[in-house]
Amino acid sequence: MRQVSETVDVLVVGGGTAGHIAAIQAARAGVTTSVVEAGTMLGGTMTAGGVWMPNHFFTQTGPVVQGIPWELYTASKEAEGLPIPDYRRRRPVETPGYYSYISVPVYAAVAEAAAVAAGVVLHYHEFVAEIRADGDWWEVVSLGRGVRRTTRCRELIDASGDSDAVRALGLRTTRSEVSQPGTLQYQFAGIEFEQLWKEEVQTLYEEAMADGTLRKGDWAYANMEPFIYYLRHGGHNGTHIYDADTSDADGQTRADVEGRERMLRMFRFVRERIPGAERASIRYMAPFALARETYHTVGEYTVVRDDFVRATRFDDAVCNAFNYIDLHSQEVGCEVSFIDDPDAIPTVPFRALVPEGSRRITVAGRNVSANRIAFAGIRAQCTCMAMGQATGAAAALAVQRGVASRDVPAADIVALTVEHGAVRPS
């Protein structure tokens, strides 16, 4: 195995929804930055994971998240030759948010080009194996096929989604007693929608559930939407995988196997029993299943439900969150609730991105310190991207000032992100 040594100012663990934004922000702020990413591309859940909806950039009253996330989104639209959506023309009757869709290959390539242009060093196909402190430096060992890399860095950003770096350091984490189900993203095509009748397909679905052809979780939103909704969306983002734990290889394998089993069961049912779906095909399948939550970092502050629904004004807020809670469960399915006041925008405090008792490490994305209900709102992809930009700014400022990231004032973090186009927290 080839031994490689590197030294950078900032190392981002995970190039996913939060991590790729964190890396670009840190590098653009003038510090050397690298990313260790176990997968094949940047973007994580929204690209390789197949949830190609980085919602929500806007509420009814204005922008919630902008900055580098919006820049990459609009750049990907321009690369597709599509107009940038004018959200002022939308009429959010059913939801106060505006859904934003990306082309996975286009966005992944655009994000990668932006990272390379900023000077980010990318290491795909590697995972973090060991981390140890050496004075004011971290030594991080990552492993890939044929490579054992040792990276020395001043600041760490854990954007792994599963608190990988935090756990490797023995810092505190927590898990919900009942975690939200995971999912495998796929999409059917070739359904002749003019042949679908709402009540007929609902009856066929209920018969299949009763006779065991289908199982609970194959259609995750049965508690809130009729089965025709599943068909019109081609099944995309419509399946639950119970007890999905993707924080290690064995758990990821189990989730992958169950996800594909559920997909195939649904595909057979749709083709064999739904009139107009005889020619259906599987247009897309993500390469791996996703978890909605696994290990939460225990931060210097834990965001709780009341903080979220009351839009608590934190003195150290570094970014906005969107104003709805999207909670999935095995018992119910999916429960969505919105904050009544459209002007009440929840925010994320910097303390929730600083692991308890730590120095020179921050977290972003699904690693955020939040309880189950608040987390169900904060985990939205745009919020994860905004958290990434905030931690990238914090790490860069810390390196430049010769202090630990936890000691950088939140106002300075916000000022830097705003300089790079972000929205000032509400």
Return the pLDDT at 337.
82
At which residue do the structure tokens 């919630």 appear?
64
CA torsion sign for 22, 25, 30, 36 is: positive
Q: Where in the chain is the domain with CATH 3.50.50.60?
A: 2-176+293-328+343-419
Q: Which residue has the higher pLDDT, 226 or 340?
A: 226
153 pLDDT exceeds 90?
yes
Question: If we measure between CA atoms, which residue out of 37, 29, 28, 35 comes closest to residue 8?
Answer: 35
The torsion region of residue 424 among left (phi > 0), alpha (psi -120 to 50) and beta comes to beta
For 410-422, the pLDDT digits (tens) are 999 999 999 999 9
Separation in Å, CA 118 to CA 4, 11, 13, 65? 23, 14, 18, 21
Return the pLDDT at 343.
83
Return the pLDDT at 93.
76
153 forms beta bridges with 8, 138
Burial label for 340, CB within 10 Å (0-12, 13-18, 19+), is exposed
Give me the half-sphere count of Cα atoms (radius 13 Å) on the Cβ side of residue 261. Answer: 14
* Percentage of the chain exceeding pLDDT 90: 86
Question: If we measure between CA atoms, which residue out of 366, 389, 383 comes closest to residue 323?
Answer: 383
pLDDT band at 56 (very low <50, low <70, confident <90, very high): confident
Q: Which CATH number fits domain 2-176+293-328+343-419: 3.50.50.60, 3.40.50.970, 3.40.640.10, 1.10.150.110?
A: 3.50.50.60
The torsion region of residue 89 among left (phi > 0), alpha (psi -120 to 50) and beta comes to alpha
Return the pLDDT at 81.
97
